[in-house]
Amino acid sequence: MTIGWCFDNTYSKLPDPFKEEIGPVPVKNPELVILNKNLSKELNLDFSNLDNKKISELFSGNSLPPGSNSIAQAYAGHQFGHFTMLGDGRAVLIGEHLSKKKDRYDIQFKGSGKTAFSRNGDGRAALGPMLREYIISEAMHNLNIPTTRSLAVVKTGEDVIRETSLQGAILTRVALSHIRVGTFQYIAARDKKDELEILLNYVIQRHYPNIQNSKNKALDLLKVVMEKQIDLVINWMRVGFIHGVMNTDNMSISGETIDYGPCAFMDIYDPKSVFSSIDQMGRYAYCNQPVITKWNLSRFAECLIPLIDKDQNKSIEMATEIINSFEKKYEEKWLNMMRDKLGLFGAEDKDKILILDLLTWMHKNKLDYTNTFCHLMNFEIEKNENFKDNDFQNWKKRWQERLKTNNNSPEKYIKLMKNVNPLIIPRNHKVEEVLNEANKSNIKPLIKLLEVLNNPYFEQKNIIDYQKPSSSKEKYQTFCGT
Ligand code: AMP
Ligand code: MG
């Protein structure tokens, strides 16, 4: 019985400046922590004939699968607004696997040791952050949000030194590709038009073949990536997800959520929510995510300027026109997303004010974002006297009036709402709780959490403990010490 690997590596065949040929650095004593069986199936991979030792050897990179070709990818990025040359400093892409349907997936080890791009880092990752990425990325997938996936986590049997000594681990990340806005920035900074053209054509062929024959490929790529990024950030806004480090190296060209560092889900609705300890200025706050998406897209557009038109001024003008259409596009899509959350069919001018009034009320009264929409769908997660408040009752009357238009019926609008309003999100305190246990080698609570996060849009029995926000008054903080 074979596992089913079907590697067809294309990125590693790109010219030298795009990557460094390097394998994972072997680890002392690999031990499997978790393997994603559902994802394995989707990838047409079967590990059931391997014992745990063999699986651990595989996902630690100690023994590479046949057909793999390990590289570290070069990229750059604006980190909190400052440009830096980066690259995979602690990850290697072992290859592109094709599923039976011929869908192509990058298979990457994160935490796999030093590369040419490690700068002062040790090339390693700790168990907590790798399991955290596993939980949140799988939760995002189940929330129907484009994201990289997590196939496995192994402990390395080695310690990594951060503020304290932590258990080392490697995450196997699966992505449509790991090409970022920062990949374009890296190549553009080298100032060689032929290399930029190679990257443009590669990306179009791999991700957007429908624009392959368009008259202006660079301009059309900017347009489609903008659509993808807008759709992505609207999904984040829908569920209250805060990415935390929207640097240009963490923005995928395929439109998937990538690089789960200090991300978190908002509980009490506050547009200024920030969880990351290093984001002192709130650059990546909840309400700033669309603003930053546009900023990042502007950096992407700058890379494409040499390819849009021979006349640089004309190029800039054309790219600017597209970037300037961001706000209108975003607002339209955001309004439609919020209409869905409220079960509204059709579009009326006064919808915007209805939506904003609810958000303002939630903010003022410190209501939980997820559970307020649950309340509107008649799922009472916890008793809250605030829902008796006059302002809310008046708002509800206006909402119910609006619901009556466009042939709406309770069956129809509840169905619409149930598709977009999760009954459960990865609550920060729950995530911390299961990670604490996993660090002590008790993986059971983590498995249980993953199980309830598997079906966020369906009613499940006895999960109230997972649905309630933390009762602690302390502000939740995430750290980049990954
Ligand atoms: P991130 O904050 O995870 O997006 O990483 C930003 C950059 O720092 C990327 O180029 C990473 O590869 C690199 N990096 C992060 N942690 C380490 C580490 N422990 N060792 C080497 N490079 C790292
Ligand atoms: Mg990154």
Question: From the CB of 130, is ligand 1 less than 6 Å away?
Answer: no
Provide the pLDDT for residue 471: 83
Residue identifier of the C-alpha nearest atom 13 of ligand 1: 89
Tell me the per-residue pLDDT of 29-76, one tens digit each, with 9 for 90 and over.
999 999 999 999 999 999 999 999 999 999 999 999 999 999 999 999
Question: From the CB of 336, is ligand 1 less than 6 Å away?
Answer: no
Q: Which residue of the set 249, 259, 279, 368 is catalytic?
A: 249
Interatomic CA distance for residues 352 and 376, integer angstroms: 18
Tell me the per-residue pLDDT of 254-308, one tens digit each, with 9 for 90 and over.
999 999 999 999 999 999 999 999 998 999 999 999 999 999 999 999 999 999 9
- Ligand 1 atom nearest the C-alpha of 480 is 2
Question: From the CB of 118, is ligand 1 less than 6 Å away?
Answer: yes
Tell me the per-residue pLDDT of 347-358, one tens digit each, with 9 for 90 and over.
999 999 999 999
Question: From the CB of 250, is ligand 1 less than 6 Å away?
Answer: yes
DSSP 382: S
Kindly write down the DSSP assignment for every residue of 168-200, as one continuous string.
EEEEEEEES---BHHHHHHHHHTT-HHHHHHHH
Q: Where are the alpha helices (DSSP H) in 216-258?
A: 217-239
Distance from residue 472's CA to the centre of ligand 1 (Å): 32
Give yes or no: 16 in active site: no
Residue identifier of the C-alpha nearest atom 11 of ligand 1: 89
Average pLDDT across the chain, whole number: 97
Ligand nearest to the CA of 480: 1
Q: Which residues contact 382 (CB under 8 A, 6 or more apart)?
A: 371, 464, 468
Q: Is the pTM of this model over 0.85?
A: yes
Provide the pLDDT for residue 448: 98
Provide the pLDDT for residue 214: 97
Average pLDDT, integer, range 197-221: 98
Average pLDDT, integer, range 210-217: 98
Q: Which of 111, 75, 255, 67 is nearest to 175 (CA)?
A: 255
Distance from residue 372's CA to the centre of ligand 1 (Å): 37
Tell me the per-residue pLDDT of 360-391, one tens digit each, with 9 for 90 and over.
999 999 999 999 999 999 999 989 999 999 99
Q: Which of 238, 266, 151, 234 is nearest to 417 (CA)?
A: 238
Report the DSSP beta bridge partners of residue 173: 108, 150
118 token code pair: 């490690």
Provide the pLDDT for residue 480: 63
Residue identifier of the C-alpha nearest atom 8 of ligand 1: 89
Question: From the CB of 95, is ligand 1 less than 6 Å away?
Answer: no
Question: From the CB of 173, is ligand 1 less than 6 Å away?
Answer: no
Provide the pLDDT for residue 481: 52
Question: From the CB of 123, is ligand 1 less than 6 Å away?
Answer: yes
Q: Is residue 482 scored above 60 in pLDDT?
A: no
Tell me the per-residue pLDDT of 102-136, one tens digit each, with 9 for 90 and over.
999 999 999 999 999 999 999 999 999 999 999 99
Provide the pLDDT for residue 1: 63
Average pLDDT, integer, range 228-250: 98
Q: Is residue 473 scored above 90 in pLDDT?
A: no
Interatomic CA distance for residues 178 and 107, integer angstroms: 9
Report the DSSP beta bridge partners of residue 167: 159
Neighbour count for residue 363 (Cβ, 10 Å): 15
Kindly write down the DSSP assignment for every residue of 297-354, as one continuous string.
HHHHHHHHHHHH-SSHHHHHHHHHHHHHTHHHHHHHHHHHHHHHHTT--S--TTHHHH
Distance of CA 276 to the CA centre of its chain: 16
In terms of Cβ atoms closer than 10 Å to its own Cβ (0-12, 13-18, 19+), residue 316 is middle
Give the residue extent of every domain in the chain: 11-178, 182-333
Tell me the per-residue pLDDT of 309-355, one tens digit each, with 9 for 90 and over.
999 999 999 999 999 999 999 999 999 999 999 999 999 999 999 99
Tell me the per-residue pLDDT of 146-194, one tens digit each, with 9 for 90 and over.
999 999 999 999 999 999 999 999 999 999 999 999 999 999 999 999 9
Distance from residue 110's CA to the centre of ligand 1 (Å): 10
The terminus-to-terminus CA distance of the chain in angstroms comes to 37
Probe target for ligand 1 pocket from 82, 86, 90, with the most ligand atoms within 8 Å of CB = 90
